[in-house]
Amino acid sequence: MMRIATFNINGVKARLPALLDWLRTSGPDVALLQEIKSVDAAFPHEAFADLGYNIETHGQKGFNGVAILSKYPLEDVVRGLPGDAGDEQARWIEATVVGARAVRVCGLYLPNGNPAPGPKYNYKLAWMDRLEARARDLLASEEPVVMAGDYNVIPQPEDAARPEAWREDALFLPETRAAFRRLLYLGFTDAFRATTPGPGHYTFWDYQAGAWEKNNGIRIDHALLSPQAADLLLSCRIEAAMRAGEKPSDHVPVWVELDA
């Protein structure tokens, strides 16, 4: 079994002790990390290598940044979402995890897009167009593909405690949700929704205004599976308890277990 977790850690330096505890305790085979907020050279490789992880990063100074930690070898690494050579933002990394069965994993940090409308929202939508194009190419490989990360998309009203508060937000605007749905129409499966229906399941709670205490959350971290990966899906769960830990990220891990 291959256990894959995606986790927006909101800064690798600020989160390092909590992150190492989490890796030691729950030991994912593959961890897709977002918002490492670190250049590659400053990423604490050794701390993760000591726990048995192979490491690939795609970072930038101050913002964004994604990484893959894997107990299995990583091959054919791609850094940066294809489709715009001029895009300076580090939001995409993919690699093949060579386990009992090879799985292509993609870690992504989709642009927030606020305020909308505006240039930031235009960038978000353009990025989602490029994501769709990449998703098509990955599907054509007919291999198990997991695209997981912080999508900054609330897919449905049931994915927010207070959907009315997000009505004009870039995470919930109709055009955003339509772009996310297009990934599903292509043939990708939302792993969490394949296993758990209903409201009340969130992956992000704002640091502000007591959002966690009020359970005022949203589900924006997702794992999308190609048909070949969906066939291997054993379980998907949200590790909400991480939000109550010491010095938490505002996001929590989402786990996917594959028969691979």
37 near DNA, rule: CB under 7 A: yes
Kindly report the number of other CB atoms within 10 A of residue 78's CB atom: 16
Report d(CA 150, CA 92) in Å as an integer: 11
- Listed ranges 20-28, 43-51, 92-100, 208-216: which one lies at the site for DNA (CB under 7 A): 208-216
245 near DNA, rule: CB under 7 A: no
Nearer of residues 10 and 156 to DNA, judged by Cβ = 10
- Listed ranges 78-86, 111-119, 134-142, 252-260: which one lies at the site for DNA (CB under 7 A): 111-119
Task: Name the one residue in this structure whose structure tokens are 């939302």.
Answer: 190
Helix axes 174-186, 119-140, angle to 10 degrees: 10
Beta carbon of residue 247, minimum distance to DNA (angstroms, whole number):
5
Cβ–Cβ < 8 Å for 209, 250 = no
111 near DNA, rule: CB under 7 A: yes
Interactions with DNA, residue window 123-142 (CB under 7 A): none
Write phi, then psi, for 139 (nearest 5 degrees): -60, -40
Backbone region of residue 101 per phi and psi (left: phi > 0; alpha: psi in -120 to 50; beta: other values): beta
Report d(CA 197, CA 93) in Å as an integer: 29
13 near DNA, rule: CB under 7 A: yes
Beta carbon of residue 73, minimum distance to DNA (angstroms, whole number):
28
Task: Spell out the residues 6+ positions from residue 172 whose beta carbon is closer than 8 angstroms to its own.
Answer: 153, 154, 160, 163, 166
State the catalytic residues: 109, 150
11 near DNA, rule: CB under 7 A: yes
210 near DNA, rule: CB under 7 A: yes
- Listed ranges 56-64, 95-103, 135-143, 179-187: which one lies at the site for DNA (CB under 7 A): 56-64
> Which residues contribute to the site for DNA (CB under 7 A)?
10-15, 37-38, 61-64, 111-112, 114, 120, 206-211, 213, 247
